[in-house]
Structure 1
Amino acid sequence: MVDTSELNARFNALLEDARRNEVILRKFQNFEIALMDCDSPLEFIDLLINKGPVGADWDRMTLILIDPDYEIRRLFEHSGEALDRNPGLIFIESKAPFTRIYQGLYSPVLTPYISGLHEFLFPPASVIPASVALLPLMLKKQLIGSFNIGSVDKDRFNEDASADFLQHMAAVIAVCIDNNVSREHLKYLGLIDNLTGVNNRRFFDQRLIEETARVKRSKTPMSCLFVDVDHFKNINDTYGHQIGDQVLRYIARIIRDQVRTIDIVARYGGEEFTVILPQSTQGKAQEIAERIRHKIAGYQFSSDEVSINLTASIGISTLLPQQCVGDQEAVVKKFVEQADQALYSAKNSGRNRTVCYADLTGNN
């Protein structure tokens, strides 16, 4: 005879497991939807590492992103993300530290916390986890980071537990990170350079075409400055990218303060700035360029950490109305190349100086 009481007990246990899993699934789904609904990196990071799913009983969360070129950090900073206020957000330059963690398998790892192995995932803080769930974040079959969950309960995460929900969540987190980076990158590619607040290369290129047409119509010259911060790579290498970014903001502010309201200041790329000077002769451009150069060299850049003496090299080209003949695109390209050649000469002849292209060719 079949023991119905035992069958009922098994059935009820399976039913209870199903109900429990349904509740867990709903929590994870709600959390994933909330992550996808975030409008900014700030909101996303706060939800992911400071809050987590409701009722998940996670005691500590960290997010480590692989960012060899400093790109994600800079984009997040531009969005208003105060990185120093989120110690749970960590950037590293390569995936090498994860070799021992994931051993090339890149699937969730649920295990007791091992200080020598897991310490870099959970920097020193008041909460030291006893067990951890480590979720590799994969995008297009590439590891982009790791989302790490810690619990003070040593039995909360173990290798026998199912990781299906966590693996799905890791995939959602990776896509959300990619979406946030892509969205901020689109903003970055707008008309304003988010780091310095001046116009960007795209805006410069557009305005240069317009101003070249104006030279032809109005029969008045236009000049262009290429301003390059001397030894900027050494500043980045010695003091770090954050100090380098502060220097660029400082240089941008000096340039803006020394030019007229009709002039167009742009960050051309890296440590190089450009200034379009409408209705400006070579003499006027030299005057403005020297003002900028002396201002940069005459003031010592200081922050809480360092004090740096800065200099800049400047190249100048001037476009005359009679030069605006033929293909306008070719005219613009030549005009920019001449300013760049003058800058190159300034840097090669000792830096911290201004050089006019016309002086190189004897056409002044």
Structure 2
Amino acid sequence: MTNLAQTPLSDRLRSLVDTVQHNERTLRRFQNVELRLIGAQDFPSFLDTLFSHLPQEFALAGVTLWLDDRAPMLLELLEPKALDALGRSGLKTSREGGLAAQGLCGDGRPWLGRGVELDEALTRAFFGNADAPASAILLPLAAGNTVSGYLCLGSDDPSRFAEGMGTDILERFASIVTASLDNVAHRERLKQLGMTDSLTGLANRRYFDERLREEIMRAVRYGVPVSCLFIDIDSFKRINDTYGHQTGDRALAIVAACVRQQVRLGDTVARYGGEEFAALLQGDRADALTVAERVRLAVERLELQDDHGERIALTVSIGVAARTVSGTPAEAATLGLAMMEEADRAMYQAKRNGRNRIEALVKMPDESAQR
């Protein structure tokens, strides 16, 4: 009797363990695909991961990607001639597809269900003359309140994507697709316009200034804050004079890589000039201060060695500024430049106050600057 009483519990525990193990395997497979997306060096590699690797990994009947060709960072990528050269039938840009997808995901949530439930407009826009899949999920590709596209995954199994199923993992995957797309667009733009600093591999000042204009316009349109960091390597002249310019170049490269690792995938980092770097972040002042402290600590821990294997201490001084921008485009551009100038002044304040620190200027009634 004891064994019979324990059998149902044993079965439930075994079923629970099997479910956990299955979920762990699924998550690892998603992570492998995500790493390929994040590491994509160009748009064709990004699309190959979505249209070839993803369906093979998860036995999908098909993958369709609709992108809004009006999005600033996608304009060059989605020109008709460029699309024809890619030869990807699963990549769509028609207005009809965007409107149909928006209707299904109007609340910003994924839609999932049987293919026969899709209306004619969406079926035609996403699948052309082919039949709709037995079941599908439509995932918005959104950063904040901005939707740049939709990712549709189809299956031959009618129950694969059923209404009411959990979508947490797939929504997380969609956010990685969004960030990776933005990253690829940045890389492609750098290639097209020659805006890369050859020593550090970061964007140069020209590209940064263009991204500042775009981010300010986005901040005005959606009422979101934008912030920036000015980062300067402390006592860099002493490093050059003491250890030589080759060691100075290694210091620049290692700090550049360190800063890039501490910010989010969609943020912009540039070598702004000499030993000075600038970072353009999506977030308010509190977010920027958090990132700045991560950067400061990470640089302080870097292991740069001289020709004799001795460690060279590296630190940075960081100035922070943030804005919630409004007004006309001209007024917004002026505020963006004012934000950059404020961050620059804050960085020099950090230098004067002892280096290896962060400063953010606050205008008081007497116009004095405080930390």
Using the size of structure 1 for normalisation, the TM-score is 0.48
TM-score by length of 2: 0.47
Higher alpha-carbon Rg: 1
